[in-house]
Structure formats: C-alpha cells, structure tokens
Structure 1
Amino acid sequence: MHSSFTRLQNVFGFFTTVAFVLGAFIAATDLGSARSPSGVIKTDNIQVVKGRPHYYSSKKEEYAIIRFSLEADLSSLFTWNTKQLFVYVTADWTGPGNTNNSAVIWDSIITNPSADHLQNIGPVAMKKLKRSAEGKSIAPDRGILKLKNQKPKYQITHPSGKIAETANVTLKLHYNVQPWVGLLTWDMDKSFGMWNAMSGGVSNLFTLPALKSKDNKDKNAAKNKTKGKKP
C-alpha cells in the first residue's frame, strides 16, 4: 500500500498538471484576440544643453531634452487576460561605425480595471478609474493616449559625453503587454496571425540642435538688437 506521503505527492502532481494545462489554455486565448495598435508621434521642442543630467552625475556632459506630442490607440491590446500595459517612447539613432543607439525618454503603465488596485495612484485618480470601469470588463478608453508638448521623463545622454548635432534621430512608440497568465509580449515588426504590427508610431527623422550655451544666447541677442535698429 502507498503511504500517506506518496498519496499526497500524487495529488499534488495531478493538481500542478491541471494548473499548467489550464494556464497554457488561458495564455493561448490571447492568440484569438485581434491586436491593431496604432500611433502618431512628432517632436515639439528639442534642446541640447550641458550640465549634470542626473543628481548623481559626477561630471557635466551634453544631454538632449525632447518634448513630443503623441496620439495612440492601444485599446485592442486589452483583453480579459491583460494585467497591465507598459508603454514607452525611445529616441533611436545610428552612431559611428553603424552602432545602434536607443534611449527611453518617456514611459507609463496602463492597468486593466481589474488590476487598478495594484497601481500606486492618488484617491482622485483612483475614483476616476473605478468610475470608468463601472459595469464594463474593460473601459473603452483604456489605451487611448493623447499627449501634447509632453515633457520627457528622462534626458538623452551618450557615453562619450557628446550628443549635440546628432543626425537621423527618430522617436518610436513601444509597448509591452503583461498578462495575468502567459508570456510577456512586445511590439512586433511584422504581423503574426491576428496580431498586427504597429501602424505608425515612428516620427520623422530629425537632427539634434547645437549645444545651447551662453555664447549662443549673447550672439542671438546681439543679432536681434542689430535688426531692431533703424538705418
């Protein structure tokens, strides 16, 4: 006869097998939900200054501050298995020797109504989230982003300390879907089944301006003063 310990092991093994199969089935249901994310992003104001980009920086270096506008529809990424959506914007450019550079300048977390309690937000914002989710499994405005002249959360730097006048820079919109059960999925370059690649989400090419310095300000002020004089 089997001992009590052996029987307990068998029950636990059966339970974990059932849980694994059920979890795999739940994760597979995401493949049947269409994804069609889209976005339009453009730059509003770009500055390159020299200083300490972070409080812990030990030396002064050049860093870029990029303000942008964004309109995106990521609502199709929310299903009953979506826990939260991580959205972020990167600045990408090719450096010397065809090296690819990418730096995150802004990010945000958008939770599913059933996961709002996991987000550390204020009571007023929490009331709005609960109100938007009343009677709905997923609020229709989840994943709709409309940002104008958005200030970046992070400045762009480079290990060399030089970044002014960098050419062929683009802003790109990215997302990461975090499900309740299953694998993390990121934005895709190509469509797969019912999951479509991001439509748009890339800005036009632009060049970072020259370093903003006191000398440049004095020269511009002198030019404006000269233009203001009457002959």
Structure 2
Amino acid sequence: MQSMELPLVLFTVLSQAAIGLVLMNAVRLHAGPGGGNDRKEWTLAAALMGVGIAASLFHLGHPLESYRALAHLEKAWLSREVLAAGIFFALAALAAFTGREKGSPVLVWAAVLAGLSALLASGMTYAPPALPAVNNALPTVFFLISAVVLGAGFASWFAATGSQPLLARILVTALVVGLVVRLTVPCAWLSGSEIMRQTGMAWLGAPLYWAHIALMAACLGVLWKKRTIPVWLPILALAGELAGRAVFFSETIHTAVNIGAPY
C-alpha cells in the first residue's frame, strides 16, 4: 500500500469502533439486564460510522459517484463492504432516532449481523494477492481486535456499574491478544518470501508501529493497576489503533516494488 491513506485509516478505525460498541451492547444484553443508556450508545455508534463513511469519500476521485461502488456486489468485496456499512449505519441511526433508553433486541442483533458482515468484507477488501503479507485472514483478525478493544472501551461510557467489570475483562483480553498478534506477525513475516520479509522489516522499523505497541501496553498497565476502565482510556486506545492502522496502510509492501528487480 505504502501511503498513509488517511481517509481509509479513519474509515476503518471509526467504523470498527462503532461495530465494537454494538457488539458490546449485545454482550451486555446476553449477560442480562444491567442498566445503562442505550440511546446515547447508539448515537455514538451512528456518529462514529457516519464520520467514518464521510472520511472514506475523500479516498475517491469522484465522491459524488460513490454509489457506483454498489455495482459489483456479486464479485467485489468492496461493494459488499459499502452495502454492509450502509445498513449498519442505517440501523444505528434508527436506534438513536427512536430515542428509546433500552434498545430492541431485534435491532441489536440485526446491527451486530450487519456490523460483522462489514468487518469481514473490510478484511477481504484489504487482503489482495498483490500484498502477500496480508493476503490471508490477518486483516480480519486485526480489524476484529480493534473492534473489541474500542468497543469495550467506549461502551464503558454508557454501561451501568454492574457491567463495568465485564467490559474491563473483555478489554484486557483483547489488548493481550492484540499485543501477542502484533508482536508475533511481523517477526513471522521475516522468514517468508522477499516481499513478506520487506513488510516485516518495514513494520518493525516504523515509529508508529512501536507507538501502537506502547499505547496498547500503557492501556493494559492502567487496567492492571485500576481494575476498571477510566473515562479517558478509550481515547488512548483510539490513538493507538489509529497509529497501528496507519502502519497497516503505509508499511505493507506491494509486489510492484520489485518489478524489474531481481530478488
């Protein structure tokens, strides 16, 4: 990819934060009644997805013709990503607009299905054969970890006191898994093909990669000490995910870099 792709960084991270919020809403719904303010939570989810979609338009050469992205649903993951993200946004906006303090379980699970579909489509969209290091399930894994980290973090703003320990445990688990995956994967790439090796070296040599690792570790340290999620911690986690996503787009090496050059 080898460019910052700021519109895509914002779209993917913010949309995954929105999806994560709804996932955490569903988890709390399944765990039993625990109070909280679903209306405000849905409003934030809709706002995050809306801002993300708006940001993604700046990636297009002709933003007013963005509807054409839906033209190839039968064969293009990008088209499916756009459709699923649009459905999720509509459901979140509907839930926020209806103004109910407690959301409808049907609406919650419909939004979860749309959100997971959007996340899977995003993972497939950014896993092309021309990027050997991520031409696999890794983008989906990265995106799911981001959704859980940010979802659990921001959900703590709205959840009742009884649900806070559950969200803290989910966030700790997601951060530990995220750290293991993000530290292991670039090292594994070093023993792969030439392009994968170059990708591993690029990631390990990127300051933003280490900033992401440091911010995740800092969040984990705060949770270990406080045993709960401070109100400012989700912002710190968001900064980390933005840094990590910038590395994903800017430091993942394309096969075109070695065209005409012997390996």
User: Which has the larger strand fraction?
Assistant: 1
User: Which has the larger helix fraction?
Assistant: 2
| Common fold by TM > 0.5 | no
- Largest Rg, 1 or 2: 1
Range of TM-score over shorter length: under 0.3
